[in-house]
């Protein structure tokens, strides 16, 4: 269920594009904390308090809670909420994916044409590539039912762990470098480096548990292999882009 907690990092990406990123990012981070407390931990507490552990309603816990409360149309209400939540997640992930593709292209680690901007500075080609991946995944799910979607869920969950671990390590290194060089940071996390180290320890424990089970071990190794493949593709793409740009400049110089 790690995948259900993924996506919160997109908040900082979106807030960074606002008129006042320093204020917006701080506000967004604080908002995420109480949203997790209310919507994740709070909802689990309500489910655990209302439904017994042996209840068959745990297959659809939210609908089971509404049924226990005597609210009619519980299944329909949950379906509507799920559809809205999925559309919201789709919108957020398309935004995040397109910005990451644009960022890679801007740094020369993806084809340069993906960094082109349309009206209002929107990376339309990066958005189109992200949307195309969604269509391809949908077609594959239709061709291979009950195989693609579970695989994507597992991939997202293990990838979230890698992303969070990379973010914590990066923060640990870059924050210390900034402090050493006396660079003023607009946002400074309180409790550094203690909270960062605690986060890394918790992630290490999750990885240890994951590698101890056969199913999750295969999933984690597959994720690391996929990440290594993507990193290699980005490195080769960056090398090809630099060579093409250099050849074009030399040709132009002649």
| 186-196 pLDDT tens trace | 778 888 899 99
CA 173 to chain centre: 21
Domain, as residue range, for 203: 146-254
Say if 40 falls within a structural domain: no
pLDDT at 57: 60
Give the C-alpha distances (Å, rounded to integers) separating 43 from 20, 29, 182.
33, 20, 44
Say if 98 falls within a structural domain: no
CA 1 to chain centre: 14
Say if 193 falls within a structural domain: yes
| pTM, full prediction | 0.72
**pLDDT tier at 2 (50, 70, 90 boundaries)?**
low
- For 64, the token pair is 């089971």
CA 35 to chain centre: 17
Instruction: Report how many domains make up the chain.
Output: 1
| Digit-coded pLDDT (tens) for 46-55 | 888 887 777 7
Say if 15 falls within a structural domain: no
Say if 91 falls within a structural domain: no
Higher-confidence position of 91 and 153 = 91
């Amino acid at each position: 269920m790690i995948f259900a907690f993924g996506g919160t990092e997109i908040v900082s990406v979106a807030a960074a594009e606002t008129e006042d990123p320093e204020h917006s990012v701080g506000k967004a981070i604080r908002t995420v904390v109480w949203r997790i407390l209310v919507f994740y931990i709070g909802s689990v507490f309500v489910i655990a308090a209302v439904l017994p552990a042996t209840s068959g309603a745990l297959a659809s816990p939210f609908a089971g809670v509404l049924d226990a409360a005597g609210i009619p149309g519980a299944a329909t209400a949950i379906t509507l909420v799920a559809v809205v939540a999925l559309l919201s997640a789709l919108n957020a992930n398309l935004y995040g994916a397109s910005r990451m593709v644009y960022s890679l292209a801007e740094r020369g680690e993806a084809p340069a044409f993906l960094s082109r901007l349309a009206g209002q500075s929107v990376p339309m080609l990066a958005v189109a590539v992200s949307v195309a991946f969604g269509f391809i995944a949908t077609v594959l799910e239709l061709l291979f039912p009950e195989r693609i979607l579970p695989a994507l869920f597992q991939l997202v969950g293990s990838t979230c762990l890698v992303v969070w671990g990379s973010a914590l390590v990066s923060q640990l290194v870059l924050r210390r470098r900034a402090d050493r060089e006396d660079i003023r940071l607009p946002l400074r996390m309180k409790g550094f480096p203690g909270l960062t180290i605690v986060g890394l320890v918790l992630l290490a424990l999750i990885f240890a548990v994951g590698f101890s089970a056969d199913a999750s071990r295969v999933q984690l190794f597959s994720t690391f292999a996929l990440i290594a493949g993507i990193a290699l593709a980005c490195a080769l793409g960056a090398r090809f882009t630099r060579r093409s740009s250099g050849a074009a400049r030399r040709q132009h110089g002649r």
